[in-house]
C-alpha cells in the first residue's frame, strides 16, 4: 500500500460506492481491507481511497455501565461494539479505517451533511484517524448524482468551527445522561417495591411527547357524549331531488327538531338567496421531511419512521435529494430545467414536464428554510433497479409534489343556496373544479372532490319532499396518530427532523402507547402521572425546549457545549433528588401499572350484589378479553358481566332503572349506543 493518498470517509457503503464511481468516472477498484469493502482510484494524478462507516461507530456510555448505579454524570465515547454485542461489525470497520488512516496524507469527511453525519465523521476522524478532525476537508452535497458529487469534491472546504459536530456530540451526551439516570431511577423504584427488574425509560424528548399523548388520552376518556339533533330536508325541482341541511347545525332537543319537521312538511320552499363565487387554491410548497412524513401517512398509512427509511433508500439510489431537511424551498441552483428533463424521460411524467417547460420554471416557496439542504426533490435520475411497492409510492409522491410546486393555482367554482320554508332556513352548497392547475400534476394526492352545484336560481320554488330528524352525539376528541403527533412535536419545537420519528417509535416499543390511534396504556399513564408529580420538568416542555434552543446556539457558535452540559447536569440532578426522596411512592405507582390487568382507569359504578365493591373493566390474562368485574373479587364477590370486545367503553355515571347495574356508552362504529352491562337485565326483555 503506497502512502500519500486521500482518505474519504462516507456514512454508508452505498454512498461510498457512488462517491467513488462519480469521482473515478466508473473506473474505481473494489478492494477488501480487514474484511471491509473499500474503493481505490486515481483522479487528476491523486490517489483516493473511499471507505464507509455504517451509522454511528462510536456511542456514549458511562464507565461503570451498571444499570443499578445512578446518578451518572461522567460519560465517555466508546466504540459501538463495546456498548452492544450486536455491533461487532463496528470493530471491524473501525480497525479498517484506522489502518487506512495510517497511510493517508489528506482526509475528507463525506458523511451526510447534518448533525448526525457531522458527528459520525468527527468521531471517526478524532478516534480512528488519530486526531484528524480539525485538519480534514468537508464535502457538502444534497444528492448522490455524479454531477453534484463531482462539484462537491471540486469545492472542498476546511472544517473550521464544526458547530454541527459539537452540537451533535453534546446532544448525544445530554440525551444519554438524561435517559440513563431517569430510566434507572424509575426502574430501581419499581424493583424496590418487590418485583423483578424491568426497564422503564423516559427520555428528554420522550417525556414531553408522552405528556401530549396522556393529556389527549385523558380528554378522550373523560369525554361524555352529549346528544343533539340534526335536521335536513329533501327538495325537488323539475323532477330533480337534492338534500339541504338546516341552517342551525345543532338542535339541542328532540322536541325542537320534531317541531321544525312538522312546520316544514307539506310547505313550499323558496330560494331566497343564491351566492356564486370562485376561489383560487395555490400549489403546495415543496416537501421538507416532516411534510413528506405527514403526507405519506395520509396517502399510504406509512409511519414517519418507515417513510424516512424509504426516503433514505431513494437518496442512496440517487433518486431524491437528502431527506433530513427542514427546508420548504427549492433554490435555482438545483437546476430546475435539468431535473425536469430527467423526469420527462420517465413515461408517466413526460406529458407533465412538457407542459410545465412551456412556461417559466418558478416553484412556489415555503416559509421554512435549512442552511444545509434544499427541500426534498427528485434528482431527475431514472431508477436503475425495480423499486418495491413502498419505494415506488414515495418516489411518485416526491416527483408529483415537485411538479405541482411549479404548477399554476387551481380555480374552483362555489355555490351556496338559502331556502326558506316558512320561517325556517335550509342551506345547500356545492363546488366544482373549473381549472385544475397544479392538481393535474399532483394527481390522486390532491384530495379535492367535486360536489354537484345546485341547479337553483333566486326566486325558484321547490317542493318539500321530506324532512329528516337524526340524533347525533358530540364528537369526542381524536387521539393522536403518528402523523399528527409528529406535527405537534414540530409545532412545539421539541426533537429534530432526524429524531422525531424514532422517538414516536420508541414510545410504541416501550409499551406506553398502542394501536394506530396511539392509545396510552396504563403503564404510559402511570409513568407520566408519577413523573409529573415528583419531577414535573421531565414531562413539561420548558426544559426540553430550552435545551433544544441552546443546542442550536452551539451549532452556530453562540454557546459552548461544555457550559450546556453542566447546566443540563444540574437540572437533571434536581429532578433526580425529588424522585429519590419519594422512591417508595414512585415505585408503587410504576409497579401497579406493570402488574395491572385493569383495562380502564375509571369505575363504572357500585356493585349491585355486594354493595361495597366497585364494578370495573377487567381484562382476562388468559383470553385477553375484557369484562366487568367487582373490586371485591378477592373477598368473594363474583359479580361479572360480558362486554363488547370492540369500541371504547364510556361510563354514564348512571345505574340502570331496571336492575341497578351500570349503564355505559359503547363508542365505535357510526354512533355510540347505550348499554346496561347486566346480560340478565329485566329491561332487555321488554318489547
Q: 577: which residues sit within 8 A by CB, 6+ positions away?
A: none
Determine phi and psi for 653, rounding to 5 degrees. Answer: 60, 25
Whole-angstrom Cα distance, residue 357 to residue 362?
10
- What is the maximum alpha-carbon separation in the chain? 99
Half-sphere exposure of residue 2: CA atoms within 13 angstroms, side-chain side: 10
Find the radius of gyration of the CA atoms of the chain: 31
Q: Which of 322, 349, 352, 534 is catalytic?
A: 322
Burial class (CB in 10 A: 0-12, 13-18, 19+), 107: buried
The C-alpha angle 51, 115, 213, rounded to 5 degrees, equals 125
613 CB neighbour count, 10 Å cutoff: 20
Query: Residues 136, 142, 143, 146: is their CA dihedral positive or negative?
Result: negative
CA distances from 39 to 33, 109, 360, 583, 584 (A): 10, 15, 42, 56, 58
Strand 36-43 relative to strand 46-52: parallel, antiparallel, unpaired? antiparallel
**3-state DSSP of 239-298:** CEEEEEEECCCCECCHHHHHHHHHHHCCCEEEEEEEEEEEEEECCCCCECHHHHHHHHHH
Active-site residue flag, 322: yes
3-state secondary structure of 481: coil
Nearest to 20 by CA among 35, 2, 6, 3: 6
Whole-angstrom Cα distance, residue 476 to residue 471?
16
Catalytic positions are 322
Amino acid at each position: 500500500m503506497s502512502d500519500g493518498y486521500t482518505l474519504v470517509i462516507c456514512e454508508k457503503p452505498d454512498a461510498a460506492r457512488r462517491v467513488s464511481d462519480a469521482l473515478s468516472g466508473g473506473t474505481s477498484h473494489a478492494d477488501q481491507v480487514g474484511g471491509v469493502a473499500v474503493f481505490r482510484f486515481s483522479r487528476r494524478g491523486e490517489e483516493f481511497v473511499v471507505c464507509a462507516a455504517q451509522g454511528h461507530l462510536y456511542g456514549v456510555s458511562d464507565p461503570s455501565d451498571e444499570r443499578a448505579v445512578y446518578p451518572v454524570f461522567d460519560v465517555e465515547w466508546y466504540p459501538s461494539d463495546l456498548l452492544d454485542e450486536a455491533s461487532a461489525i463496528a470493530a471491524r470497520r473501525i480497525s479498517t479505517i484506522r489502518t487506512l488512516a495510517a497511510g493517508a496524507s489528506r482526509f475528507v469527511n463525506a458523511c451526510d451533511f447534518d448533525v448526525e453525519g457531522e458527528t459520525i465523521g468527527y468521531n471517526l476522524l478524532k478516534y480512528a484517524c488519530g486526531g484528524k478532525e480539525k485538519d480534514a476537508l468537508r464535502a457538502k452535497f444534497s444528492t448522490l448524482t455524479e454531477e453534484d458529487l463531482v462539484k462537491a469534491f471540486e469545492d472542498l472546504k476546511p472544517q473550521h468551527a464544526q458547530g454541527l459536530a459539537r452540537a451533535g456530540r453534546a446532544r448525544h451526551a445530554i440525551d444519554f445522561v438524561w435517559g440513563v439516570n431517569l430510566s434507572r431511577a424509575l426502574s430501581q423504584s419499581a424493583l424496590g417495591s418487590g418485583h423483578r427488574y424491568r426497564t422503564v425509560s423516559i427520555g428528554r424528548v420522550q417525556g414531553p411527547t408522552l405528556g401530549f399523548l396522556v393529556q389527549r388520552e385523558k380528554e378522550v376518556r373523560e369525554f361524555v357524549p352529549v346528544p343533539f339533533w340534526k335536521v335536513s330536508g329533501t327538495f325537488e325541482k323539475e323532477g330533480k331531488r337534492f338534500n339541504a341541511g338546516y341552517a342551525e347545525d345543532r338542535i339541542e332537543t328532540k322536541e325542537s327538531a320534531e317541531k321544525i319537521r312538522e312546520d316544514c312538511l307539506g310547505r313550499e320552499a323558496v330560494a331566497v338567496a343564491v351566492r356564486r363565487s370562485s376561489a383560487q387554491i395555490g400549489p403546495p410548497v415543496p416537501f421538507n421531511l416532516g411534510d413528506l412524513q405527514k403526507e405519506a401517512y395520509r396517502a399510504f398509512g406509512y409511519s414517519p419512521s418507515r417513510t424516512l427509511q424509504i426516503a433514505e433508500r431513494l437518496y442512496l439510489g440517487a433518486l431524491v435529494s437528502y431527506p433530513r431537511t427542514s427546508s420548504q424551498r427549492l433554490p435555482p441552483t438545483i437546476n430546475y430545467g435539468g431535473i425536469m428533463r430527467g423526469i420527462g424521460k420517465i413515461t408517466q411524467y413526460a406529458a407533465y414536464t412538457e407542459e410545465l417547460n412551456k412556461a417559466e420554471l418558478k416553484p412556489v416557496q415555503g416559509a421554512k428554510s435549512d442552511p444545509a439542504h434544499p427541500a426534498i426533490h427528485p434528482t431527475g435520475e431514472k431508477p436503475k433497479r425495480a423499486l418495491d411497492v413502498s419505494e415506488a409510492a414515495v418516489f411518485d409522491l416526491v416527483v408529483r409534489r415537485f411538479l405541482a410546486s411549479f404548477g399554476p393555482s387551481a380555480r374552483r367554482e362555489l355555490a351556496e343556496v338559502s331556502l326558506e320554508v316558512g320561517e325556517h332556513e335550509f342551506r345547500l352548497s356545492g363546488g366544482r373544479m373549473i381549472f385544475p392547475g397544479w392538481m393535474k400534476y399532483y394527481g390522486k394526492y390532491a384530495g379535492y372532490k367535486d360536489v354537484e352545484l345546485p341547479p337553483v336560481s333566486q326566486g325558484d320554488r321547490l317542493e318539500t319532499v321530506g324532512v329528516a330528524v337524526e340524533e347525533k352525539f358530540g364528537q369526542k376528541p381524536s387521539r393522536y396518530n403518528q402523523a399528527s403527533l409528529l406535527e405537534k412535536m414540530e409545532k412545539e419545537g421539541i426533537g429534530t427532523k432526524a429524531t422525531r420519528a424514532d422517538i414516536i417509535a420508541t414510545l410504541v416499543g416501550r409499551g406506553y402507547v398502542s394501536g394506530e390511534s396511539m392509545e396510552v396504556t396504563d403503564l404510559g399513564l402511570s409513568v407520566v402521572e408519577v413523573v409529573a408529580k415528583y419531577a414535573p420538568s421531565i414531562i413539561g416542555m420548558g426544559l426540553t425546549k430550552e435545551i433544544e434552543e441552546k443546542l442550536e446556539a452551539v451549532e452556530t457558535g453562540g454557546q459552548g457545549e461544555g457550559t450546556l452540559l453542566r447546566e443540563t447536569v444540574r437540572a437533571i440532578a434536581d429532578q433526580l433528588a425529588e424522585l429519590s426522596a419519594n422512591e417508595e411512592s414512585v415505585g408503587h405507582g410504576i409497579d401497579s401499572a406493570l402488574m395491572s390487568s385493569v383495562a380502564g382507569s375509571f369505575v363504572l359504578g357500585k356493585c349491585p350484589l355486594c354493595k361495597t365493591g366497585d364494578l370495573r373493566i377487567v381484562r382476562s390474562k388468559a383470553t385477553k378479553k375484557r369484562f366487568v368485574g367487582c373490586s371485591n373479587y378477592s373477598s368473594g364477590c363474583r359479580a361479572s358481566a360480558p362486554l363488547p370486545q370492540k369500541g371504547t367503553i364510556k361510563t354514564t355515571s348512571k345505574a340502570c332503572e331496571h336492575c341497578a347495574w351500570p349503564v355505559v356508552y359503547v363508542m365505535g362504529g357510526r354512533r355510540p349506543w347505550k348499554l346496561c352491562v347486566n346480560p340478565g337485565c329485566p329491561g332487555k326483555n321488554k318489547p
